[in-house]
Amino acid sequence: MLLPAFVRDCRTATRLIERRAAATLRPGERLRLWAHLRLCVYCRRYEAQSRLLARLAPHSPEPFTPATAAMKAQWQDQITQALR
């Protein structure tokens, strides 16, 4: 049986998944993606994992090292110079 190309096209499906998250799909795209997701377990996983990434990202730990004394001294210097 000859299947339509979009059934195998996960590259396009994953692209549509990303755009769907921001609700910018046209009706035809939405339908094709819906049909693809019914048939493709990998892209269903991709969608769930992509959502998880979006949920985790805002809370990712920030490696932060405070400004060093040397930096502060340099800022001070520049300001004093600029004020002169």
Partner 1 sequence: MYRFAYRRVREAEAAAELVQETFLSALAARAGFRGEASERSWLFVILRHKLVDFYRQLARRAAVEQADSAPEDHETAEPLFGPDGHWLAAQAPQAWPPAHDALEQQELQRILAACQQRLPARQQLVFARRFVEEIPAADICQELALSAANFWVLVHRAKLSLRQCLERHWLAAPPLPTSSPS
Which of 2, 27, 28, 65 touches partner 1 by CB under 8 A? 65
Distance from C-alpha of 12 to C-alpha of 8, rounded to nearest angstrom: 9
Of the candidates 39, 15, 8, the one whose C-alpha atom is nearest the C-alpha of residue 29 is 15
Longest dimension (CA), the chain: 82
Binders of partner 1 among residues 1 to 60 (CB under 8 A) are: 5, 8-12, 14-15, 18-19, 22, 42-43, 45-46, 49-50, 52-54, 56-60
Residue 22 has φ and ψ, to the nearest 5°, of -105, 15
Which chain residues interact with partner 1 by CB under 8 A?
5, 8-12, 14-15, 18-19, 22, 42-43, 45-46, 49-50, 52-54, 56-67, 71, 74-75, 78-79, 82-83
